[in-house]
Chain A
Amino acid sequence: MRAAERPSDPAGTGWSARLHVVTGKGGTGKTSVAAALALALAAGGRRTLLVEVEGRQGIAQLFGIDPLPYEERHLADAPDGGEVRALAVDAEEALLEYLDMFYKLGAAGRALRKLGAIDFATTIAPGLRDVLLTGKVKEATTRTSGQRRVYDAVVLDAPPTGRIGRFLNVTAETARLAKVGPIKTQSEGVAALLRSPITAVHVVTLLEEMPVQETVDAIADLTALGFGVGKVIVNGTRPPLPAGRPVSAAELRRGLVAAGLPADRETVAGLHDEARDQLIRRELEDSLRADLVELGLPMTELPLLPDGVDRAGLATLAQALVSAD
């Protein structure tokens, strides 16, 4: 998608969509990035919802809290009076809620569940499961209370890059199975929202070969399926090296002496090896970064957090997400 085709961004934060779908290869930190984005977009008295759909309880683990129920809960305060709420969507619960809404099942719904019918229905048709999960996300995104939207933005910690196309492409999966009826209508509604400018899919990656390859593949896949790709978010980046050239052992020894550090043979050799590995790594990172730039999408780089992703780290990431543009 070229820049001209992307919806304009009135707020100037670079995050114009209202539903942010965050994907990425396993291990790239997509849950942390999704949480940081929900925090960032809640700043200034706004309210956001952070949603997970894979039953991993990644949000609860990240925030060090008890497992999240199928219920929107207060998760964190954002700067200047904002609020982030969290929700772990469960397909079975979503189906019961859905049936209840349209068919007033009540106790009969619980009986069906006891019988395993709900589990059965969501198992036999994986597409049905996804349409229930995305359907719940759509409902939260479009929900209003009075004249006001309940959430200024919804951030979805989505399935990883390997499964994201299929997960979002709900109509194709359900159309195979349900040719008519409310599920079909429901999936069409979800598909329309997911393909509208309201939704942006962001791909989180590291400057490592596999994640970058999967990012490139996923973006091609998503684009072919008609989804709007928002940003490429490069996680765990390190500040550039100002000198960035090989250092000689003699030079290193002089420097160590000047710094008042031991400058014995082993120390010099060890640091020299470290410097060499560092440069190899950086060169590889630069070439991977160039591959990502070639995608022609807006790119945001997040710093490597030396102490891991704690609350302070999340705040750092949130800050970097909105100020990077």
Chain B
Amino acid sequence: MPSEDAAPQLDVDQILADPGVRIIVCCGAGGVGKTTTAAALALRAAEQHGRRTVVLTIDPARRLAQSLGLTELDNTPRQVKGIDVETSGGELHAMMLDMKRTFDDVVLQHTDPAKAAEIFANPFYQAMSSTFAGTQEYMAMEKLGQLHARGEWDLIVVDTPPSRSALDFLDAPARLSRFLDGRMLRLLLAPARSGGRSMFSLVTASFGMFSKVVQKVLGAQLLTDLSGFVAALDSMFGGFRQRAEQTYRILQARETAFVLVAAPEPDAVREAAYFAGRLREEKMPLAGLVLNRVHRPAVPELDAEQSRVAAERLAELGGHEATAEVLRAHAALARQAVREQQVAARFTEAFPAVPSVSVTAQPADVHDVDGLRTIGAAISRP
């Protein structure tokens, strides 16, 4: 495959074995096998490279979660039993992110219990901690920061949330902390004062109108709740931004490796390319691209057209229905493989220096440790 020859090969084992790599972040569009890839990498790090590994999953498929022993969402890492670590001495722990609980923990850490109870009861906090688009990303980042700070693991593998866009994972923390630290919240807190600087009075004048409109549109109760929320969060200002910035710095450090995950589909590849561009801008260490679900004919010499024509010939001849069917299936597979290479080439052409590895599509879905092991081997030895 010419597109693959052009790009350097991603050596996953080298990354998994490197004691200097402490964090692997798997990112990419939804539906490309991110969670499975993260779990497979973590399992391989434990079994093959003897590392004490924890995998932070966001929203794993039920059967995959069960296979990792994640039967409940308790927001703490649990050791995965029944894996093959006798010779390597590694360990695998797994956890599923509980977004609301992580948010609650942050609040508890930054304020006293009475204030925290007040915040928890506020409808704005409830809405935000469970539905704010970005809370999940922010909390994934927060959890990563916590796991890292505990220093108990050699390697943390993070799966990223199924965002609208893969970039949300990078942007959401900054957005949320900016928001929580923001001018608007301070305006809501500060009662309108007269006689300030002209700029200030202009701001408060239009803000007075804003609250009037909000009051009209949403009702007075809402404003009361909102100021309550803001006042309660006041003690935590700064804390949010500081934490987000800290985690951001960890992501820029050499101990982190970003692994882009994509499938050979235009949307997924485009998303991966955007992400690669952003990582470069942010000076974040991109290790490479894992291209999942790649179709590879076992007989590449026989091309789609040849195979299709031969199937037709057999159909005319009669008596070879089963072979004709195999040839038609091969033709479809060969055609798909060509198209996938063209799609994948869009990434390698834009980022020729980024190493990549293709993982052949599995005939059946992966939902046990054996399956993860197979995937891990496929990523390492394509």
Contacts and interface: CB of A to CB of B under 8 A. Distances in A.
B201 interface: no
A135 interface: no
Interface in A59-117: 61, 99, 102-103, 105, 108, 111-112, 115-117
Contact of B336 (A124, A278, A306): A306
A177 B133 contact: no
A289 interface: no
A242 B183 contact: no
Given A27-B263, A184-B219, A115 B61 contact: no
A126 B125 CA distance: 11
Q: Is chain B's binding surface mostly helix, strand, loop or mixed?
A: helix
Contact of A255 (B29, B322, B335): B322
B114 interface: no
B363 A281 contact: yes
Nearest to B332: A306
A99 B364 CA distance: 52
* Number of chain B interface residues as a range: 35 or more
A135 B206 CA distance: 26
Nearest to A116: B184
A65 to B, nearest CB: 15
A256 B323 contact: yes
B321 interface: yes
Contacts of A166: 131
A272 B351 CA distance: 37
A231 B128 CA distance: 32
Most buried by A among B131, B162, B216, B266: B131
A115 B214 CA distance: 14
A208 B365 contact: yes
Contacts of B323: 247, 251-252, 254-256, 258-259
A12 interface: no
A27 B320 contact: no
Given A181-B216, A306-B339, A274 B322 contact: no
B11 interface: no
Given A54-B164, A111-B206, A177 B218 contact: yes
Given A112-B210, A255-B320, A180 B164 contact: no
12 contacts: A99-B213, A178-B221, A181-B216, A183-B218, A209-B61, A244-B325, A261-B310, A267-B302, A274-B298, A278-B363, A284-B365, A307-B339
Interface of A: 25-28, 54-56, 58, 61, 99, 102-103, 105, 108, 111-112, 115-117, 120-121, 123-129, 159-160, 162, 166, 173, 176-184, 208-211, 213, 238, 241-245, 247, 251-252, 254-256, 258-262, 266-267, 269-275, 277-278, 280-281, 284, 306-308
Top 3 A-B pairs, shortest CB-CB distance:
A255-B323, A27-B31, A26-B30
Interface of B: 29-32, 59, 61-63, 123-124, 126-128, 131-133, 162, 164-165, 179, 182-184, 203, 206-207, 209-210, 213-214, 216-219, 221-222, 225-226, 263, 265-268, 270, 297-299, 301-302, 306, 310-311, 313-314, 317, 319-327, 329-330, 332-333, 335-336, 339, 343, 363-365, 367
Given A116-B183, A274-B297, 7 more contacts: A27-B267, A120-B184, A126-B132, A255-B326, A271-B330, A284-B364, A284-B365
